[in-house]
Amino acid sequence: MAKIKKGDQVTILTGKDNGKTGTVSAVLPKENKVIVDGLNIVKKTVKGSEKNPRGGIVEKSAPMDISNVQLVCSKCNKGSRVGFKVLKNGKKERICRRCKSEVKE
């Protein structure tokens, strides 16, 4: 079970977007990276295509290391580490280490 999933609200810990929050749009587990909507923006030159006939410079969100983001707890509204709790039926759920509440997905 992953600590950070698609759709989670996260805060950025380092880099040019330090302190900003955003929603995770993709998780790349093999590369240990996440893509956060609207953050870590880079400019990329693209060749013309049917979809974009003129080509040019496009701004897009680049992947960042998963260690540079921290989950924002929905209950305490602060960044916190993620822990796990095993329920009696054998399922695992993510919990906030700060307030010990369940992290909503």
- Extended beta strands in the chain, E state: 9-12, 21-28, 33-36, 41-46, 56-61, 64-65, 69-72, 79-80, 82-86, 92-96
Contacts of 77 (CB under 8 A, 6+ apart): none
DSSP one-letter code for 49:
-
pTM of the predicted model as reported, rounded to 2 decimal places? 0.83
Enumerate the domain spans of the chain.
9-77
Buried/exposed code over 65-79 (b: 16+ C-beta within 10 A; e: otherwise): ebebbbbbbeeeeeb
Q: Residue 100: what pLDDT?
A: 87
- Rounded Cα gap, residues 82 and 67, in angstroms: 12
Measured torsion, CA atoms of residues 88, 80, 104, 12, in degrees rounded to the nearest 10: -140
Cα-based torsion angle of the residue sequence 21, 68, 100, 24 in order, rounded to the nearest 10 degrees: 50
The one-digit pLDDT tens for each residue of the chain (105 residues) are 578 999 999 999 999 999 999 999 999 999 999 999 999 999 999 998 888 888 899 899 999 999 999 999 988 888 899 999 999 998 999 999 888 888 876
Q: What is the pLDDT of residue 20?
A: 94
CATH topology of domain 9-77: SH3 type barrels. (2.30.30)
